[in-house]
Every structure is written in C-alpha cells, then in structure tokens.
Structure 1
Amino acid sequence: MEIEHNSAKHTFEIRDEEGTLAGHADYRPLGEDSVDFDHTVIDPAFRGQGLSTPLIQAALDEARAQGWQVKASCSAVAHFIDKNPEYRELLG
C-alpha cells in the first residue's frame, strides 16, 4: 500500500500495489495552520485489512510536519487520537 497527500483535493489517499484507490482521509483547511479531518473512507473491497490506521497515521504525521493544529470531526480520526496519545498535542 502507498499513501499520498493530494493537497489539491485536501485528502490523503491510500492505494494498493496496482494503484487502485483503497481509501482516503479528507480534511478542510481552517486557516493557515489548522485543518479539520472530517471524513475517512475505506472502499468496501478493501475493508477489514486495517488500512484506516496507517492512512490516518500518515495524515497526522504530515499535519505534524506542516505544523498544523488538528480538529477531528471524523470519528475514525478522533478514535485514532484517543488510542494514540502521542498525537493529542495536535488537537487545537
């Protein structure tokens, strides 16, 4: 699986080895240094493979690298942050 930040579409995409889109984590910019992760989807054909975890982790790692504060409107992102306290400092 490969994860890519598509900044033009405000999303992080996870694709399989053949380039098929398996899922995405979308965000809305809230200002220059703040985003709201508001939607995460894994395609039904790829569910049950644990893909949301690396997708959300990559998205939050990029948020950290960019210096963004994060709002987690998406329940999957909020749940990930709850289970991984090292990301709580991103919440703004």
Structure 2
Amino acid sequence: MEIKRQERKHVIENTDGEMLAEITFVPSGSSMVIIDHTYVSDEMRGKGTASKLVASVVDEMRQQGKKIMPLCPFAKAEFERHAEYEDVLHKKD
C-alpha cells in the first residue's frame, strides 16, 4: 500500500489511479495544519488504512516542524490513542 503525498492531502490509489483512501489537511498560518477529512473505501476498510494515513501526515508535519489540529473525528481519535503524536499536536491556549 503506497501512500502518495500530494498538496494538502495524502492518497492511496489502485493500479488504475482510482482513489481508494485519502486524508486531507489545510494550512492554518505558517506553523499549523488542520486535518479535516479522512476517507477509506469499503474495500480498504479494516486494514488499518486510515491509521496509516494519519501517521503519514504526522511524519510529514514533524519533518516540516508544524503542529496539527485534528478536527476530523477519526484523526482526533487517533491522536487520543497515540501518545507518540503529542509532539505535533496543536494545544489550545
């Protein structure tokens, strides 16, 4: 399963280029992004696909030195389950 990093989203496609899963995020200022949507097709469900997409965004934002505000319910739950994401979590003042 290859995750392709694109501008403001990470996607997984089948061999025909059809999107099977995606996570989208939008910049908020210069130091933060907001994860606003996660989608996984029926055929990809139950394989940890959405978790891998969240991890992919976490890795990219760590590399860029940015924080993440997970507004998407799934992403928010992932941040609650994974203490190791604490370093990139945007904390409200």
Name the structure 1 match of 2:5: 5
| 1:32 aligned partner | 30
Instruction: Identify the residue that residue 48 of structure 1 maps to in structure 2.
Output: 46
Q: Distance in 2 between matches of 1:3 and 1:69?
A: 21
Q: Which runs of 4+ in 1 moved over 4 A?
A: none
Matches of 1:50 and 1:91, distance apart in 2: 21
Residue segments in structure 2 that go unaligned for 5+ positions in a row: none
* TM-score, with length taken from structure 1: 0.87
* More strand per residue: 1
TM-score w.r.t. structure 2 length? 0.86
- In 1, Cα distance between equivalents of 2:53 and 2:26: 16
- Distance in 1 separating the partners of 2:20 and 2:10: 11
Residues 1-26 of structure 1: CA deviation (Å, up to 9, x unaligned): 1001111xx1111234x243211000
Offset of 1:39 from its aligned partner? 0.5
Q: How many residues align?
A: 89
